[in-house]
Amino acid sequence: MERKSGVLMHISSLYGDYGIGSFGDEAKHFIDFLKDCGFSYWQVLPFCPVDECNSPYKSPSTFGGNPYFVSLTKLYEKGLLERSELETQKQQNPYSCEYVRLFHTRNSVLLNASKRAKNRDEIESFIKNDPYLENFCRFMALKESNSYAPWYEWQTTETNDDTLFMWKFIQYEFFSQWKEIKQYANEKGIKIIGDIPIYVDLDSCDVWSNKNYFKLDESGRPTGVAGVPPDYFSSEGQLWGNPIYDWNEMEKDDFKWWRDRIYHMTMLFDAVRIDHFRGIESYWEVPGNAKTSKEGSWQKGPGEKLVKALKEAAGDALIIAEDLGDITTDVINLLEKSGFPGNCRRPWRYNNRCYKSS
């Protein structure tokens, strides 16, 4: 059996001068470090934008890229930023990501850069060729027009032209810069493992543009939300709040949204880790108005039908199944049938509690 090792390091944790790690030279330097140490893999967290708690696991888009990862230095080298604008983005705290400061200042600098772009036609064409990115850019522009209220409370459908193009520019630069970094890694013999959260946020482009795929009422609020049941870590369980998929509706078009999602990820990474794989076999659904996760119940997931669709969409790309949770025999059987490598192990019991072997 061939054995290889790697390192988990998210882009945000790379060193840098501008409040957060980015797709600048710091990423290439980390790749050089991995190669020098004999590693074969670099694992990252999801690349999508973060929520109000700075988590990429509850993002406004599963397809969009985090604007904070766009290298300001590269924009400066292209003549899209002035030195004085770089100086305003210099970090004030070298020990943590400056998310609050980034939220209030980064977009204004990226807006200035987008106004100086000379390749507008190229950027527009890039976005138009990807309907998911096109929807995301419009969604974010509408968020600003509606004072960042959730989509189900929006009052206007008008967008600011400069803001809309800024988001198109950000996505173009994000994916262009990452393409360069990934190519550099692969040339050094380093493969990238990406990460895909199983759920999306209610206030996301994914739900806004695909309402029929989720369990929502007429006002757009979720009738069921995700979580995990009470266990020995939490007597009330965990109430995540993500809307639950309407799996019956998704099956009608052979899980097209999921197929597109996996294919998109395989274009970014050499391997894709599916977070909370056990939710494909069965998931904990909590009523949308519940106060704690204790009010939820187990529901059957799409199982082998979705796994088949994911494998077809991924092609030769490696899919990894992750799980930390209540792993049942049914979950283990699904993993074994899928052929995905993963950390779902056969459970063992002690005092009638189910644990996983290492």
Question: pLDDT tens digits for 146-175?
Answer: 999 999 999 999 999 999 999 999 999 999
Q: By CB neighbour count within 10 A (0-12 exposed, 13-18 middle, 19+ buried), where does 134 fall?
A: buried
Residue 292 counted as domain residue: yes
Tokens of 28: 């290439």
Contacts of 205 (CB under 8 A, 6+ apart): 60, 61, 63, 64, 132, 135, 136, 139, 140
Element spanning 137, H or E: helix 131-145
Separation of alpha carbons 145 and 290, rounded Å: 31
Non-local (6+) Cβ contacts of 129 within 8 A are none
Report, as ranges of residue numbers, the positions in the chain whose pLDDT lies below 50. 347-358
Residues in the chain: 358
Q: Is 44 within the bounds of a domain?
A: no
- The answer to whether residue 10 is domain-embedded is no
Inside any domain, residue 14: no
Q: What are phi and psi of 155, to 5 degrees?
A: -110, -15
Residue 336 identity (one-letter amino acid): E
Helix (H, G, I), strand (E, B) or coil at 112: helix
* Strand 224-228 relative to strand 238-243, pairing: antiparallel
Give φ, ψ of 201 to 5 degrees.
-85, 150
d(CA 335, CA 338): 5
Q: Sign of the CA dihedral 20, 22, 25, 26?
A: positive
Residue 45, in any domain of the structure: no
In the prediction, which pLDDT does 352 show? 41
Q: What is the CA radius of gyration of the chain?
A: 21
How would you list the strands of the sheet with 271-274, edge to edge?
6-8, 41-43, 191-196, 271-274, 318-321
The answer to whether residue 257 sits within a structural domain is yes
Residue with the two structure tokens 């797709």 = 23
Task: Report the alpha-carbon distance of residue 193 to residue 247 in Å, rounded.
Answer: 27
In a domain, 51, yes or no: no
Contact (CB, 8 A) for 244 and 283: yes
**Residue 357 identity:** S
CB 21 within 8 A of CB 15: yes
Which whole-number Å values give the CA distances from 180 to 17, 125, 149, 174, 177, in the listed order?
A: 20, 20, 35, 10, 5
DSSP label at residue 50: P
Q: Would you call 154 helix, strand, or coil by DSSP?
A: coil
Residue 350: per-residue pLDDT: 36
Domain count, the chain: 1
Cα 7–Cα 8–Cα 12 angle in degrees, nearest 5: 130
Instruction: Report which of 191, 195, 173 is spatially closest to residue 57, judged by C-alpha positions.
Output: 195
pLDDT at residue 351, as a whole number: 39
| Domain membership of residue 261 as a residue range | 210-358
Give the number of other Cβ atoms within 10 Å of residue 206's Cβ. Answer: 27
Assess if residue 114 is contained within a domain: no
Looking at residue 293, the DSSP 8-state letter turns out to be G
Coil, strand or helix at 268: helix
